[in-house]
Amino acid sequence: MRAFVAVAQARSFRRAALDLGLTASTLSHAVRALEDRLGQRLLNRTTRSVTLTEAGARLLHELMPALTLLDSAVAAAGTPGNVPMGTVRLAAPRLAIQILIAPAIKHLARDYPHVTLDVRTLERPGDLVEGFDLGIQLGHEVAQDMVAVALTPPFTTAVVGSPEYFASHPPPAHPTDLLRHQCIGCRSGPAGSLFRWSFARAGETVTLDVQGTLVTDDSDLMLCAALNGLGIWHGVDLIAQPLIDEGRLLRVLADWSLTSPGFHIYYAAGAPLSPAVRAVVDVLKAANG
């Protein structure tokens, strides 16, 4: 079962074998034996890729909580005095890594030297079936069956552009004025759909499909483009405010801003947290509280 999970997560026998310190043929035989025992194909194999069958995806979803519980029990039993020890796998969007994890890692290394934090960039970590212990996501995007803890206050949208841009484009007085501006488009969600800009004030709501010369799913590129006068960016106050204070960005339509839940750290409900996972949660809460 662990061989199957390793291959399913890595989507590769070779990478899974490297992670486990085994040969690819050993893993292949182990997975084939499991498939023969179950009478079900769990993985589709080609020369270029490994993908889960429907039965394989179902088994992976069921196995992960059980294996996590076993790992937690073994870690707790083998940790003298309940000292946090071991590897904690955390998935988070790039923005959360920059503003939440990066400032906290020195505290984790200082206070818990036996804990290794394995951080992966995933814009939508989902329900943690890929073997992660923890995820960070916007509060309204966390599944209801997860335990979620707020790490930041709610976000307020901030629509901004550079002084250079507004020197040649009159600032919008109403959200619909944005339709005559160059707007930096954002692709979001699993399907990479174009994010629609929404506004509300005094009972009036406006949702727009904006246009511009740049569309991307990279938040760093969006901000860089706004700073360089390419167009207007629809961001959040947490990122924009320091640049507004420095005069590098100008905010418009502030009275139309919306508020949404901030970043939350979350984990699967039911299974007890290992001392190492609890340590990571506590450090992130303290560093961003």
pLDDT tens readout for residues 79-114: 556 688 889 999 998 889 988 999 999 999 999 999
Task: Strand 185-188: give its sheet, edge to edge.
Answer: 193-194, 185-188, 215-216
Q: What is the pLDDT of residue 271?
A: 66
The one-character DSSP state at 201 is E
Q: What is the pLDDT of residue 126?
A: 72
Name residue, tokens 């167009």.
231
How far apart, in Å, are the Cα atoms of 57 and each of 64, 234, 261? 11, 37, 31
Cβ atoms of 151 and 265 within 8 Å: the answer is yes
**Which tens digits make up the pLDDT trace of 105-135?**
999 999 999 999 999 988 877 777 667 899 9
Q: Is the pTM value of this prediction over 0.85? A: no
Q: Which domains does the chain have, with CATH numbers?
A: 1-82 (1.10.10.10), 155-260 (3.40.190.290)
**Which tens digits make up the pLDDT trace of 238-285?**
899 999 999 999 999 999 999 999 999 999 887 678 899 999 999 999
Q: What is the pLDDT of residue 148?
A: 92
**Which tens digits make up the pLDDT trace of 205-246?**
999 999 999 999 888 899 999 999 999 999 999 899 999 999
Cβ atoms of 128 and 267 within 8 Å: the answer is yes
Residues in Cβ contact with 276 at an 8 Å cutoff, skipping those fewer than 6 apart: 75, 84, 85, 86, 87, 88, 112, 114, 115
pLDDT grade for 77, boundaries at 50, 70 and 90: low
